[in-house]
Amino acid sequence: MAFNFGGEFAVQRSPEETYDFLIDPQSFCPLLPDYQNVDVRGPEDFIVEVKVGISHIRGTAKVSLHLQEHNRPTRAVYAGKATMAGGNVDLNAGFDLRPDGNGTIVKWNGNAQVFGRLTSIAGGLLEPLARKNVQKVIASLQQAMNGDASQTAKTPSVK
Protein backbone atom coordinates (compact mmCIF):
# COMPACT_ATOMS: atom_id res chain seq x y z
CA MET A 1 0.00 0.00 0.00
CA ALA A 2 1.52 3.33 -1.09
CA PHE A 3 0.82 6.93 -0.12
CA ASN A 4 2.06 10.13 -1.74
CA PHE A 5 1.64 13.51 -0.13
CA GLY A 6 2.74 17.09 -0.59
CA GLY A 7 1.99 20.76 -0.23
CA GLU A 8 3.59 24.03 0.75
CA PHE A 9 3.51 26.56 3.53
CA ALA A 10 5.15 29.84 4.49
CA VAL A 11 7.28 30.53 7.55
CA GLN A 12 8.67 33.73 9.00
CA ARG A 13 12.27 32.55 9.03
CA SER A 14 15.05 32.88 6.48
CA PRO A 15 15.78 29.88 4.22
CA GLU A 16 18.97 29.26 6.23
CA GLU A 17 17.11 29.22 9.57
CA THR A 18 14.34 27.06 8.10
CA TYR A 19 16.85 24.60 6.64
CA ASP A 20 18.72 24.37 9.96
CA PHE A 21 15.46 23.60 11.77
CA LEU A 22 14.43 20.91 9.25
CA ILE A 23 17.75 19.05 9.43
CA ASP A 24 17.94 19.08 13.24
CA PRO A 25 16.14 16.01 14.62
CA GLN A 26 16.20 17.53 18.12
CA SER A 27 14.10 20.43 16.75
CA PHE A 28 11.51 18.69 14.59
CA CYS A 29 11.16 15.14 15.98
CA PRO A 30 9.32 16.25 19.16
CA LEU A 31 6.66 17.73 16.84
CA LEU A 32 5.76 14.28 15.46
CA PRO A 33 2.44 12.80 16.62
CA ASP A 34 2.92 10.45 19.59
CA TYR A 35 6.67 11.22 19.76
CA GLN A 36 8.60 9.27 22.39
CA ASN A 37 12.34 9.62 21.77
CA VAL A 38 15.06 10.44 19.26
CA ASP A 39 18.49 8.84 19.16
CA VAL A 40 20.92 10.85 17.01
CA ARG A 41 23.49 8.46 15.56
CA GLY A 42 25.48 10.96 13.52
CA PRO A 43 25.16 14.17 11.52
CA GLU A 44 22.91 12.49 8.93
CA ASP A 45 21.38 9.53 10.79
CA PHE A 46 18.93 9.15 13.64
CA ILE A 47 16.23 6.87 15.00
CA VAL A 48 12.96 8.34 16.23
CA GLU A 49 10.44 6.35 18.25
CA VAL A 50 6.71 7.08 18.06
CA LYS A 51 3.71 5.30 19.55
CA VAL A 52 1.45 3.61 17.03
CA GLY A 53 -2.08 2.40 17.36
CA ILE A 54 -3.84 1.10 14.28
CA SER A 55 -6.73 -1.34 14.65
CA HIS A 56 -5.42 -4.19 16.85
CA ILE A 57 -1.76 -3.23 16.40
CA ARG A 58 -0.35 -1.15 19.22
CA GLY A 59 3.22 -0.43 20.24
CA THR A 60 6.23 1.62 19.28
CA ALA A 61 7.52 2.25 15.79
CA LYS A 62 11.23 2.80 15.36
CA VAL A 63 11.90 5.00 12.37
CA SER A 64 15.49 5.03 11.08
CA LEU A 65 16.08 8.16 9.00
CA HIS A 66 19.00 9.26 6.87
CA LEU A 67 19.47 12.76 5.46
CA GLN A 68 20.28 11.54 1.95
CA GLU A 69 20.28 14.89 0.19
CA HIS A 70 21.25 18.20 1.72
CA ASN A 71 21.86 21.43 -0.12
CA ARG A 72 21.86 24.31 2.35
CA PRO A 73 19.68 26.37 2.26
CA THR A 74 17.45 25.11 -0.56
CA ARG A 75 16.82 21.36 -0.23
CA ALA A 76 16.76 18.51 2.29
CA VAL A 77 15.58 14.95 1.61
CA TYR A 78 15.18 12.13 4.13
CA ALA A 79 14.93 8.42 3.39
CA GLY A 80 13.95 5.95 6.05
CA LYS A 81 12.42 2.75 7.23
CA ALA A 82 9.97 2.24 10.08
CA THR A 83 9.65 -1.08 11.86
CA MET A 84 6.70 -1.97 14.07
CA ALA A 85 4.59 -4.91 15.05
CA GLY A 86 2.68 -5.99 11.98
CA GLY A 87 4.77 -4.40 9.30
CA ASN A 88 7.37 -2.09 7.89
CA VAL A 89 7.20 1.23 6.10
CA ASP A 90 9.70 2.63 3.60
CA LEU A 91 9.49 6.39 3.40
CA ASN A 92 10.95 9.51 1.84
CA ALA A 93 10.32 13.15 2.71
CA GLY A 94 11.73 16.17 0.92
CA PHE A 95 11.72 19.91 1.51
CA ASP A 96 12.48 22.56 -1.10
CA LEU A 97 12.96 26.06 0.27
CA ARG A 98 12.77 29.41 -1.49
CA PRO A 99 12.96 32.93 -0.13
CA ASP A 100 9.73 34.91 0.11
CA GLY A 101 10.18 38.46 1.34
CA ASN A 102 11.34 38.17 4.96
CA GLY A 103 10.41 34.51 5.15
CA THR A 104 10.54 31.21 3.30
CA ILE A 105 8.16 29.10 1.25
CA VAL A 106 8.54 25.42 2.14
CA LYS A 107 7.41 23.05 -0.60
CA TRP A 108 7.29 19.52 0.79
CA ASN A 109 6.55 16.09 -0.57
CA GLY A 110 6.86 12.54 0.56
CA ASN A 111 5.84 8.98 0.03
CA ALA A 112 5.42 5.89 2.12
CA GLN A 113 5.12 2.24 1.16
CA VAL A 114 3.55 -0.01 3.82
CA PHE A 115 4.42 -3.72 3.92
CA GLY A 116 3.30 -6.68 6.01
CA ARG A 117 0.14 -7.79 7.73
CA LEU A 118 -0.46 -4.20 8.80
CA THR A 119 -1.98 -3.56 5.36
CA SER A 120 -4.51 -6.37 5.71
CA ILE A 121 -5.36 -5.69 9.37
CA ALA A 122 -5.63 -1.90 9.20
CA GLY A 123 -6.55 -1.67 5.52
CA GLY A 124 -8.90 1.26 5.02
CA LEU A 125 -7.79 2.93 8.26
CA LEU A 126 -4.26 3.60 6.98
CA GLU A 127 -5.02 6.34 4.47
CA PRO A 128 -7.17 8.53 6.78
CA LEU A 129 -4.66 8.05 9.61
CA ALA A 130 -1.73 8.93 7.33
CA ARG A 131 -3.57 12.05 6.09
CA LYS A 132 -4.38 13.15 9.65
CA ASN A 133 -0.82 12.62 10.92
CA VAL A 134 0.78 14.37 7.94
CA GLN A 135 -1.50 17.37 8.47
CA LYS A 136 -0.55 17.44 12.18
CA VAL A 137 3.18 17.33 11.39
CA ILE A 138 2.99 20.12 8.81
CA ALA A 139 0.85 22.33 11.06
CA SER A 140 3.27 21.73 13.97
CA LEU A 141 6.31 22.53 11.81
CA GLN A 142 4.75 25.73 10.58
CA GLN A 143 3.66 26.80 14.06
CA ALA A 144 7.07 26.02 15.58
CA MET A 145 8.93 27.96 12.89
CA ASN A 146 6.52 30.92 13.01
CA GLY A 147 6.26 31.03 16.78
CA ASP A 148 2.46 31.14 16.52
CA ALA A 149 -0.48 29.60 14.72
CA SER A 150 -1.52 32.72 12.79
CA GLN A 151 -0.87 31.14 9.39
CA THR A 152 -2.20 27.80 8.30
CA ALA A 153 -0.58 25.34 5.95
CA LYS A 154 -2.15 24.63 2.60
CA THR A 155 -4.00 21.36 2.93
CA PRO A 156 -1.69 18.45 2.12
CA SER A 157 -2.78 15.84 -0.36
CA VAL A 158 -2.39 12.14 0.33
CA LYS A 159 -2.77 9.86 -2.67
| Class of the CATH-defined domain 2-153 | alpha beta
Q: Are the C-beta atoms of 45 and 65 separated by less than 8 Å?
A: yes
Residue 67 parent element (H or E): strand 57-71
Quote the CA–CA distance of 1 and 120 in Å, as a whole number.
10
pLDDT grade, residue 150 (50/70/90)?
very low
Q: What are phi and psi of 105, to 5 degrees?
A: -95, 125
Q: Within 13 Å and on the Cβ side, how many CA atoms surround 145?
A: 29
Q: What is the pTM of this model?
A: 0.86
Q: What is the pLDDT of residues 5-19, one digit of tens each?
A: 999 999 999 999 999
Domain residue extents for the chain: 2-153
pLDDT digits (tens, 9 = 90+) for 33-46: 999 999 999 999 99
